[in-house]
Structure 1
Amino acid sequence: MKYLKIAFTAAALLCAEASFAQQKTISAKVDALISKMTLDEKVGQLNQLNGDWEATGPVTKDVGNKLDDVKKGKVGSVLNIMGTNHTRAFQEAAMQSRLKIPLLFGQDVIHGYSITFPIPLAEAASWDMAAMERSARIAATEAAAAGIHWTFAPMVDIARDPRWGRVMEGAGEDTYLGSMIAKARVKGFQGKGLGNIDAVMACVKHFAAYGAAIGGRDYNSVDMSRRTLWETYLPPFKAALDAGAATFMNSFNDLNGTPATGSSYLQRDILKGKWGFKGFVVSDWNSVGEMIPHGFVKDNYEAAEVAIKAGNDMDMESRAYIGNLAKVVKDGRINIAVVNEAVRRILTKKFEMGLFDDPYKFINPAREKAAMNRPENIEAARDMGRKSIVLLKNEKNILPLSKSIKSIALIGPLSKEKWYLKGAWSTDVDPNDNVVTIYDGIQKQAPGAKIYYAEGCKIKDSVATDFKDAVDAANKADVVVMAVGEDIFMTGEARSKANIHIPGVQEELIKAVVTTGKPVVVLLMAGRPMVFNWTADHAPAIVYTWWLGSQMGNSVADVLFGNYNPAGKLPITFPRSEGQIPIYYNSLNTGRPAQGDNDTFYRSSYIDLPNTPQYAFGYGLSYTTFSYSNISISKTNIKKTESLTVSFDLQNTGKIAGEETAQLYIRDMVAQPLRPVKELKDFKKVMLAPGETKRITFTINKEKLQFYNDNLQLITQPGEFKLMIGAASNNIKLEKTFQLTN
């Protein structure tokens, strides 16, 4: 009996210990692991290596054997390793390290994985948060099934300069719209929470103000007031953080003279301090080492010291940390506690992802195969594509086309293109996947039509011809569809352009075809706003299709033939000329504002060009029409602690069902400091049947009226405010004023 009691007591103690172990918090587990780690192993966790894909920068050649480095605990994360076969090989190597700390696998899953969705700027044109969340959700599901833990998205940089190549990767020019989209994409990527096998960690980038690069030149300096930083560029980052974003990435640019990677103000004071961010910060590709050519530090030793002090936790591909950080600590330049903090943040995410419980939980070949290219997800990509299309012009209601049309001329260098339709930053999991071309999409929806095809010219042709084949095709057909624009290498990282006109002689091709007198529909494909003044003035119908991904041909055909009524609205201003850039709707007024396009002298205007854009922020047409009427407000005077509602009737006055995105803008009429001429503060996307009317209501509260003063304090000021409701920033239908009082 005595021995039975002893055995029972021992078993009870073991159970109690097991229970206690299970109840230990992640924080305690992280602390326990850190206590076992050598300095070199800690530095290894802060080191991220590229796999085998030259995607975002020059690959360092003297890397040695990467798998050996993983086995020695010198690597915490690997990027650009796709597919369960590859990720398993690296994770097995990590399991041979002394402490068996699993790797994180990162990948630029920007707008889809196996299924390619529209580029982010195109998706932003949908103004549809649910659709964008679904797009990111599907991308995350496919990527996670392929063994990926972490996507370097969403990019939430506000961009007001379409010369900047990475404008395609964000949500456009507006802070409010950009903030809503940032939330939706984070929620889509991270799903129901980290650790679920269909969720990936989001990485919000680029912190901060990368989109304001001077001259629209990638990697260039940014110079702005801190009030502009806080008011315009930081809110989408805060929105993403509030949505639970797991990680942040800093940016290549310097901000007011300090490289973002070495900025304590951005990373410690704001992100980890004022905002209380608990995740970790990763550098952009080699941005730690690039502080040397910036002239901010003299070598990688100093770069490692400056970056870790500033709050950069993980070093992507510069090797500055792995080669120097241990020595920096041993030399007394930083306290080991600084390194421990960075390691703690990274290990915490690995625990939250469940990788310590099962390093291979995301590596299941059968699940990978089952997750890819599911029919319902392909249909979602098609739907996202058509939601992203913006109808810019439709004279004489050329569109939609009849499916019984007898002949169509399909002209242009992008008519039969496949790869370009995916746009920059597609993962190319399967380069030979079934991308639907414009030709195929049209042929499927009008099977009885004779299609006369002519390439017309190449995208980059610099010498115009008589375009005889294209003109002959147009003359034979009942209607002409032209597919023109950029190629895939003209937008994206490191692809800034001084000239953003339609490339080559394509606009000359459009002129030649329009001159035939045939009805012409121009499809413009690009990753940025382009300049196309002649086309805007003379082409009867213009559809901006951006790059829509795998299902582009079907999405475009759905709109052309009326299966879907276009409802996209521009998330960014389209200039008339590069000389207007930067141009955006929410500018400040001047002491000498222009009163009209012909009022030029002694006004803030050009003498050779109107101030107005070619197409304004928020603009987009439909195959039906809408009316706005009967505006009312609940109060004409409110205190700053109160709110009011503004209501109006929105009616479909056309003959087919359609969606309208009603937009609410506000102007603070007198303020110190100055306020913009209008600011988007809310919007609602509403589906209406023909003749249907809905009463739409917006709520105005303190959050919609406050702004930063010069001391970076959020304030409201009493006075008059104008409410503007309309179909675009330059198409205001209804107005009301109210007073904010003390």
Structure 2
Amino acid sequence: MTEHLYHKYVKHMTLEEKIAQLLQLAAPFYDEPGDHSEITGPMEELGIGSETKLAAGSVLGIAGAEKMMAVQKEHLKNNRHGIPLLFMADIVHGFKTIFPIPLAIGCSWNPELAEQSAEIAAREAAVSGLHVTFAPMVDLVRDARWGRVMESTGEDPYLNSVFAKAFVQGFQGDDLRNDVSRVAACVKHFAAYGLAEGGRDYNSVDLSERQLREYYLPAYKAAVDAGVEMVMTSFNIVDGIPATGNSKLLRSLLREEWGFEGIVISDWAAIKEIIAHGAAEDEKEAAFKAIWSGVDIDMMTTSYVNHLPELVAEGLVDEALIDEAVLRILKLKEKLGLFENPMRGADPVLEREIVFSAEHRQVSRKLAEKSSVLLKNEGVLPLAPEQRVALIGPFANSGDILGWWSWTGSKETAVKLGESMRILSENPGNVIIAEGSGIDSISESQRNEALKAAADADVIVLAVGESSEMSGEGGSRSNIKLPQAQLELIELMKGLGKPLAVVLFNGRPLDLHGVYDLANAVLEAWFPGSEGGAALADLLYGKVNPSGKLSMSVPYSVGQIPVYYNSFSTGRPKPEEETGNRYISQYLDIPNEPLLPFGFGLSYTDFSYDGLTLSAETMKADQPIEAKVTVTNTGKMAGTETVQLYIRDVSAEVVRPVKELKGFKQVELAPGESSEVVFRIDESMLRYHHSDLSVSSDRGQFSLFIGASSKDVQAASFRLLK
């Protein structure tokens, strides 16, 4: 295929035309004045000529079948070689039908539903003219201050890897050429972007190569192994070198070691930002470093266009290197069938039929139900249809429940909580709605309105949280509590002495002081998407039993961050029982442990774990063992439980985490029903990166844990023999 493309196109292209194929321009370059699409990042005057634009290889941020077709038609009419444009966009968790944010999807622990959500997002995007989505983001995150926490599926490399594979399969399917309802996926951000110092977006990252390989690379590798077509570089440095100009990362590791043959694209203006990092003197040097590192597409700078011709003329860059990049881009265009069908999948009639269809919205609703996490419940939930409920708070009837990356989603069409609760109540008048406060302000009239709404209520439900702008790209926060105005509202309602439930809308785990301690029930909704209100009403009234489990720890305080379950022990670990010993690893003013641990989530029913057994006390490399446990629904309502398997290497060449997730299974149980859950443990699950970066297991003792969360577990042990 590549040789064919070379002889048909590359061989006949001028150097300038080749380099233009490496340029990605944003939607405003193709818009009429005043019709600019919303995009992120710094908008610059690039100063490119019309010839470069006509030879450009891809465009970012155009959506809509008619618009895409018009741009493609005009482009092909003027492009000398008839090479079609690639249309790309950030379809992070839905196109028009918005699903819960990825952090919430991680809390579903349901990769099948995650894959289905990506398939639907691809279907809507493809019929609207898009070919590539900049998703999934698989960055490992342990710092809730970082705004882009919302785009990740959490703090665990194994769970993130499972979801990375699911998203790639959902977006791409099995045959991009013949299945025009799928789009190419672009995994991001390579690499370790989630470790930004201080949780501050775009900030520096510093970690050892062993830590990088052991914890931060697995999810990217899972995406590559699943056949992802593109990789996006990250904004940060890796081992002191900006990722976008890092040949060790992009060529040695990604291409040579992992065998990735697809396209590498810079993030927005990231090639030019090599200068700001202090790793290039000017754009010419930045272009040199990026092309040598294997970056094929320059997103929204003219670094390649302006400087690669000069670098080739000076003999600093071999033209063959540019040919390789062009061929990778043309190869994806051919794989998508664009040379035969430049309008691939775009269909204005079908677009109106399937985009935001009832079928798609139903899946969004189901995923929102599965993603919400019940954090606390002192018998307040589920609500009874006959109860008089005061629904109060800035999210009581708000459409701002989609999250930062809901690019083409509509807040106006998002299903609102208050409307949905009135549908499920025995009498719509039983649900009294009041705003109570704004996101970060509260007035006397709002206080009075809230008190009036709550006066005759049997129970108060507070819908509070962050606005969508408070997380996402550029949305880092040092204070991750609810805004003071909403904390005042909660305290005001608590003073009435009535049962109090809180529904949280947010893009990150929050410091829940002033919420968790005052409320009788807390339901974490995250940003639940287009059908969020309906899903949450079903959960609040018990039509659906909560089953979500945290994919990221909820900190006790921001002072603990980063706080995560799979941490290392120390030489002076803090014992479970208080000893009065000062000289141990501890805070004097707060606990070491998070408020709520990874894997935690309550239900309206109860589950018991009994009889953990291992098939053998020893195992060999060619002799796996099995772990079995019986899970019983001891409550009065059918429910779904996520059974989690953790392992610890007790004595290793380098220290290992106190627990590591190695598997999970979901069981649906009727009241009184039991199920035997079986996990197979083989030697490959015990391997890790040693000090010399080799990957193997160590013989010796291992602890095994199975339970309802990373903290609530039963334990057993076995020994690996060599």
- Mapped pair 1:539 → 2:522: no
Equivalent positions of 1:309-708 (< 5 A) are 309-395=292-378, 397-405=379-387, 407-418=388-399, 420-428=400-408, 430=410, 432=412, 434-448=413-427, 449-461=429-441, 467-596=447-576, 598-599=578-579, 601-708=582-689
Q: Aligned ranges for residues 65-84 of structure 1 at < 5 Å?
A: 69-71=52-54, 73=55, 75-84=56-65
CA distance in 2, matches of 1:527, 1:689: 33
Taking a change above 3 Å as real, the CA distance of residues 225 and 62 of structure 1, as seen in their structure-2 partners, is: closer
Task: Measure the CA separation in 2 of the matches of 1:207 and 1:33.
Answer: 30
Question: Is the 8 Å Cα contact of residues 70 and 97 (structure 1) preserved in structure 2?
Answer: no
Structure 2 residue 94 is the aligned partner of structure 1 residue 112? yes
| Paired letter, 1:440 | E
1:38 is matched with which residue? 14
- Kept in 2: contact 1:459–1:504 (CA 8 A): no
Instruction: Name the aligned partner's letter for residue 107 of structure 2.
Output: A
Report the Cα distance in structure 2 between the residues aligned to 1:177 and 1:603, rounded to whole angstroms.
31
Q: Is the 8 Å Cα contact of residues 27 and 348 (structure 1) preserved in structure 2?
A: no
Q: Distance in 2 between matches of 1:297 and 1:391?
A: 49
1:85: which partner in 2?
A: 66
Q: What percentage of residue pairs aligned between the two structures are identical?
A: 44
2-structure distance, mates of 1:56, 1:712: 38
Q: How far off is 1:462 after superposition?
A: 7.3
CA contact (8 A) 2:189 2:231 kept: yes
Check conservation: 1:454, 1:469, Cα contact below 8 A. Answer: yes
- Structure 2 spans left out of the alignment, 5+ residues: 29-36
CA-to-aligned-CA distance 1:275-309 (integer Å, 9 cap, x gap): 00011100000000001111110111111110000
Aligned to 1:719: 700
Displacement, 1:26?
5.0
Classify 1:502/1:598 alpha carbon distance in 2 versus 1 (closer, same or farther; 3 Å): farther
Letter in 1 for 2:142: R
Structure 1: which 5+ residue stretches go unaligned?
Answer: 1-24
How far apart, in 1, do the equivalents of 2:443 and 2:222 lie? Answer: 48
User: SS at 2:349's partner residue?
Assistant: helix
- Residues 597 and 612 in structure 1, CA contact (< 8 A), matched pair in contact too: no
Give the Cα–Cα distance (whole angstroms) in 2 for the partners of residues 361 and 578 of structure 1: 48
Distance between the aligned counterparts of 2:515 and 2:274, measured in 1?
44
Query: Displacement, 1:84?
Result: 1.4
- What's the offset of the Cα at 1:170? 0.7
Partner of 1:232: 215
Aligned-pair CA distance for 1:94: 2.5
Q: What is the CA distance between 1:536 and its match in structure 2?
A: 1.4
Q: Partners of 1:32 and 1:265 in 2: how far apart?
A: 33
Q: Judge conservation of contact 2:48–2:302 (CA < 8 Å) in 1.
A: no
Partner in structure 2 of residue 12 of structure 1: none
1:32–1:652 CA distance, 2 compared to 1 (3 A):
same
Decide which moves more: 676-685 or 185-194: 185-194
Distance 1:65 1:650 in 2: 67
Q: Distance in 2 between matches of 1:670 and 1:430?
A: 53
What is the distance in 2 between the residues matched to 1:313 and 1:170? 25
2:33 aligned partner: none
Structure of larger gyration radius: 1
Q: Distance in 2 between matches of 1:132 and 1:268?
A: 31
Change (3 A) 1:672 1:36: same
Asked if the contact 1:30/1:347 (under 8 Å) is kept, the reply is no
Q: How many residue pairs end up in the alignment?
A: 710
Cα RMSD for the two superposed structures: 1.5
Q: Which residue of 184, 208, 212 maps to 1:201? A: 184
Q: CA deviation at 1:54?
A: 4.5
Residue 342 of structure 1: how far off its partner (Å): 0.9
Listed one character per residue, the Cα deviations across residues 341-386 of structure 1 (whole Å, up to 9, x for unaligned) are 1111111100000001111122221222222122111111111111
CA displacement, residues 473-521 of structure 1 (integer Å, 9 cap, x when unaligned): 2221111110001001100001100000011321121111122111111
2:25 to 49, 55, 59: 49
SS of the residue 1:326 aligns to: helix
Name the CA distance, whole Å, in 1 between partners of 2:246 and 2:253.
10
SS in 2 for 1:380: helix
Task: Report the TM-score, using the length of structure 1 for normalisation.
Answer: 0.94
Distance in 1, matches of 2:87 and 2:212, equals 32
Other structure's SS at 1:392 match? strand
Q: Which region of structure 1 is more displaced relative to structure 2, 562-571 or 532-541? A: 532-541
Question: Shift of the alpha carbon at 1:453?
Answer: 2.2
Pair 1:249–1:188, CA change in 2 (3 A)? same
Which residue in the other structure is 1:191 paired with?
173
Matched, 1:244 2:227: yes
What is the aligned partner in structure 1 of residue 5 from structure 2? 29
Go from structure 1 to structure 2 and tell me whether the alpha carbon gap of 1:484 and 1:737 turns closer, same or farther (over 3 Å shift).
same
Q: What CA distance in whole angstroms lies between the structure 2 residues aligned with 1:548 and 1:314? A: 33
The alpha carbon displacement at 1:32 in A equals: 3.5
Report the Cα distance in structure 1 between the residues aligned to 2:238 and 2:426, rounded to whole angstroms: 55
Per-residue Cα deviation, 1:403-430 (whole angstroms, up to 9, x for no partner): 232x210111111111x11111002355
> Helix, strand or coil: the match of 1:409?
strand
1:268 paired to 2:251:
yes
Aligned to 1:58: 42
Shift of 1:447: 5.0
The TM-score normalised by the length of structure 2 is 0.96
What code does the residue aligned with 1:350 have? K
